[in-house]
Structure 1
Amino acid sequence: MEISIRKGILSELPQIKELFAGTITSVCQTDYNAEQLEAWKSSISNTERWNNLIKNQYFIVAEIDKEIVGFASLDHGNYIDMLYVHKDFQRQGIAQRLYDHLEHKSKYSNMESLTADVSKTAKPFFERNGFTTIARQVQVRSAVEIVNYKMQKTF
């Protein structure tokens, strides 16, 4: 299975947003309730935000056989804004490959650390990659509280 990483493009947004919603629904259901999952997924309707992810951030996709199986983004050279892997391609090294690209890009840009706001589901992955928790946070989306963690890794 050959995983390729490349820059994402605007025309792929419908597929990327579908992957985002599907991943949240199936992968995060043990850590969040249905109301929280729906509130989290509702951000796909913010077209301006999604367009800006690709236009203004370092936005990459992972592909296997020309199918997008994951995506990630780096904002301002040191903030991991997005890191999602398709629900059917979990635990195959895709998140690690995406993360490694973001870390390399950050180091290449002479950043001293990486930060991310991380879900309960993703927290163990980030800990394995050397991140520590700075704070437990409660985000409110569509009047629903969603717990996540501000995490950081210093180089």
Structure 2
Amino acid sequence: MTHLHIRPYREQDARALTDIFYDTIHHTGLAHYTHAQVNAWAPLPKEYHRWQQRLALWPPIVAELDGRAVGFITLTPSGHIEWTYTHRNYQRRGIASRLYRRLEEQARQLGITSLTVDASRFARPFFEKQGFAVVRENRTIRAGEKLQNWHMAKPLFEKGAS
């Protein structure tokens, strides 16, 4: 892999990040969810305008390879990781781990004391490797389809620190 660049979000990234979201769910998600569940999670056609607004609200950290966005992760002010997606052609190469490390650094600098995430079936093992623990199982209904994920948390302070 050539040089991976981790950088802040730029407004012109919105379309590429939207494509990564949809592509990841509609391809990688099928290993863990039904077609109907995937379509409920990421309904087509792609909602570029809506995603542009959402990304502006919580500007992500972007992974770029050879000038092309290949992944992103977002942090809300409350310490919740809203999205973590890596393009399907670049998964299992450490990109999400690099994005996560940058996000955790940023969270610590902001004084956030713990992180949370609602992890899908395919994201849960990744977050467990990052030190997250399951708090509870979530079951939601979206577009008439039952979806399952896990609310996970990770403290960002060292035990015994004051």
Q: Does structure 1 conserve the Cα–Cα contact (< 8 Å) formed by 2:15 and 2:48?
A: no
Q: Distance in 2 between matches of 1:46 and 1:92?
A: 27
Structure 2: tracts of 5 or more residues without a match: 157-162
Counterparts of 1:62 and 1:97, CA distance in 2: 8
Give 2:105's aligned residue.
104
Q: Secondary structure at the match of 1:28?
A: helix
Would you say 1:57 and 2:58 are equivalent positions? yes
Partner-residue secondary structure (3-state), 1:11: helix
Cα distance in 2 for partners of 1:3, 1:17 equals: 20
Q: Determine if contact 2:9/2:60 at 8 Å carries over to the other structure.
A: yes
Instruction: Point out the structure with max Rg over C-alpha.
Output: 2
Match of 2:19 in 1: 18
Q: Which residue of 1 aligns with 2:41?
A: 40
More strand by share: 1
Identity of aligned residues (%): 31
Q: One-letter code of the match for 1:7?
A: P
Structure 1's consecutive aligned runs of 4 or more residues displaced over 3 angstroms after TM superposition are none
- C-alpha spacing 1:58/1:45, structure 2 compared with 1 (3 Å): closer
1:1-155 superposed matches below 5 A:
1-42=2-43, 44-45=46-47, 47-48=49-50, 50-155=51-156
Tell me how many residue pairs correspond in the alignment: 154
Deviation at 1:77, TM superposition (A): 4.9
The alignment's TM-score, normalised by the length of structure 2, stands at: 0.88
State the Cα RMSD in Å. Answer: 1.6
Paired letter, 2:95: I
Does the 8 Å CA contact 2:28/2:88 hold for their aligned counterparts? Answer: yes
Distance 1:77 1:4, change over 3 A: farther
Q: Distance in 1 between matches of 2:56 and 2:19?
A: 19
CA distance in 1, matches of 2:48, 2:149: 20
Question: CA offsets, 1:36-82, max 9 Å, x none?
Answer: 1111112852734x234332324111011001110111111511001
Deviation at 1:147, TM superposition (A): 0.3
